[in-house]
Chain A
Amino acid sequence: MTVKLMQGNEACVAGALKAGMKFYAGYPITPSTEIAELSAEALPKVGGKFIQMEDEIGGIAAALGGSLTGLKSMTATSGPGFSLKQENIGYGIITETPCVIVNVQRSGPSTGLPTSPAQGDIMQSRWGTHGDHSIITLYPSSVKEIYYTTIRAFNLAEKYRTPVILLLDEIIGHMREKIEIPENDDVEIIDRKKPTCDPSEYKAFKVKEGDIVPEMAAFGQGYRYHVTGLVHDETGFPSGNELVADKLLNRLIDKIEGNKDDIVTYEEYLLDDAEIAIVSFGSIARSSKTAVDTLRSQGYKVGLFRPITIWPSPEEQLLELGKRMKKIFVVELNAGQYFLEVDRIAGKHVQVNKYGKINGEIITPEEIVAVVKEDQNA
């Protein structure tokens, strides 16, 4: 057992290395920079590669190029840089290229309050790239959870052949906590399935029966195939046919939305007998958890629902919560982004309130306690 005092961003790199990251391409931006710095230090020691690109767009582009050539790849950024990466996130989606994109959220819009905390990219992480698509976004809330969630982000990227967004925020990215990593940590590591067929039979974007995604050859492996951001058929070549477009684009959505049972994770805290639920994630879920304890000690039947998979959202669980609770509060460090999703799902059964902030200050447990009490005693 290794016990360490570790920073959130450091745990992200440790998790990525454990997952098999062999290539990092990025551009420095606070508060994500430590992820680039530590990758630059660690990767060449394990035969991996690091490159500091000329800009954020180049960072994700090179990471996708590295992934197509067979290496597990990652890039990390914050707010403004996340905006810049959006077009190529869409490229990763339509070309089914595994990649982990870390966004250590900071205040915005634009340069905002550098580098105060915020959770303002909840919707950007869902809808930032243009066009209809689905996406996997994970959001841990402790240093230990960052380590394991980063591993999971790589696993999901490989399994579903898609970019996975790992949301952190300035608070958990820079926070230091004790983390215990077992010496022989037998955590599952998933690698993309590669083709073994004769190259003449390889159809790069055909899903074999029983598989979720097409087998993925690395450039140079002997399967000469075409990758394009255009709508393409099973061979990988572009097509303007509406049936081909319909089949491809819906398959890309369905491979994620249809596997929510595998993808969606969440934590429930004291919800069994609760009448009031707080929905909260990332750093603010920590304030919410403390608020739940305080409110419980004062006799309020409150619990916490913490989505760890933000997208696709835990729809089934939120609907169930809506049916069981008398009130839901969505507490997030923004002006009410995830509230829209929770209200959409649970709002038909229960009143959903939002509490947020966009001034660069965190939300304290005391504030949450006051919000719930004010509402309950009104």
Chain B
Amino acid sequence: MPSELVKNYFRTQNLPHIWCPGCGNGIVTRALVKAVDSLGLDKDKVCVVSGIGCSSRAPGYLDFNTLHTTHGRALAFATGVKMANPELKVIVVTGDGDSSAIGGNHLIHACRRNIDITTIVFNNNTYGMTGGQFSPTTPTGDKGTTAPYGSVDPNFDLCNLATAAGASYVARGTIFAANQLEKNIIAGIQNKGFSFIEAMSTCPTYYGRKNRKGSAVDMTTYLKENAINKVAWDKLPEEKKEGKFVIGELHSIERPEYTEQYDKLIASLRKEG
């Protein structure tokens, strides 16, 4: 029997989903739905937008206004949605390739504008839907079908990228620490501005198999053992950070929000007129 959460927020007629056994996408999607539920948002006023890829299939299963767009363009479509109706809570669901390779330009400019959109990147370090090619977040040296000898590409730190580009809320979570991820998503949605949440996920089918990372459980255990909370991370000597990564709320500032600024412009022009 589906849980109350599933019944209330999922389009159960479209289940089961297309994701592979052991995929982390379900856990991230659940964290998103739990965040929406605990905030008590009106489903009619939530719009979930995605691009192309495994994670971008999530909106089809969710009972909101949902928009599954073209590869890399979710944030550009979402910008139009938010501009047209700033009352809507706009949430973008995207992957590492979708958001930071083909969609990288839209990401940095959405950050720069600080437009009130919450973006959740399902980072599985690979292009899963096309069969495991290396992505901008595949660690250097790791293999993909297009990196048969190991990737020579340096990989992105997406959270640093979002922070530098101007996002007003930035956090990273993992599918192991799902409760913390949910809290970060809640804070992201509450933030009036552009919120960026990187959810470290798993792709045992392609990335895992290609790189001998073991089972889905092994890959999740890896996330558990190597993720260090921000508070502890800041106290850690540099040499102990090797091979580890930081999770939690990484950046939070107040900046003018884009649609509010535009609405002020409209108001001032209409007053003059």
Contact = CB atoms under 8 A, between A and B. Distances in A.
Given A54-B106, A228-B68, A61 B84 contact: no
Contact of B45 (A73, A220, A230, A238): A220
A128 interface: no
Contacts of A221: 44
B211 to A, nearest CB: 30
Interface string B257-273: 00000100110011001
A44 B109 CA distance: 21
B84 A69 contact: yes
A22 B270 CA distance: 15
Q: Report the interface size class on chain A.
A: 35 or more
Contact of A70 (B60, B76, B84, B105): B84
Interface residues of B, number: 39
B44 A222 contact: yes
Contact of B65 (A55, A66, A88, A225): A225
Contacts of B84: 22-23, 49, 65-67, 69-71, 73
B69 interface: yes
Nearest to B272: A45
B68 A53 contact: no
A58 B69 contact: no
Interface in A3-28: 22-23, 25
Interface string B67-82: 1111001001111110
A224 B64 contact: yes
B47 interface: yes
B161 to A, nearest CB: 15
Interface in B71-102: 73, 76-81, 83-85, 87-88
A296 B59 CA distance: 64
B127 to A, nearest CB: 18
Dominant SS among interface residues on chain B: helix
A226 interface: yes
Dominant SS among interface residues on chain A: mixed
B229 interface: no
Contact of B80 (A44, A65, A224): A65
Most buried by A among B47, B65, B85: B65
B155 interface: no
Contact of A65 (B66, B78, B109, B270): B78
A219 B85 contact: yes
Contact of A45 (B64, B67, B105, B273): B273
Contact of B262 (A44, A45, A57): A44
A73 B84 CA distance: 10
Interface of B: 11, 14, 43-45, 47, 49, 59-60, 63-70, 73, 76-81, 83-85, 87-88, 105-106, 108-109, 262, 265-266, 269-270, 273
Interface of A: 22-23, 25, 44-45, 47, 49, 51, 53-55, 57-58, 61-71, 73, 87-88, 91, 218-222, 224-230, 237-238
Among all A-B residue pairs, the 8 with the closest Cβ atoms: A65-B80, A62-B80, A61-B76, A69-B84, A58-B76, A65-B77, A228-B68, A66-B80
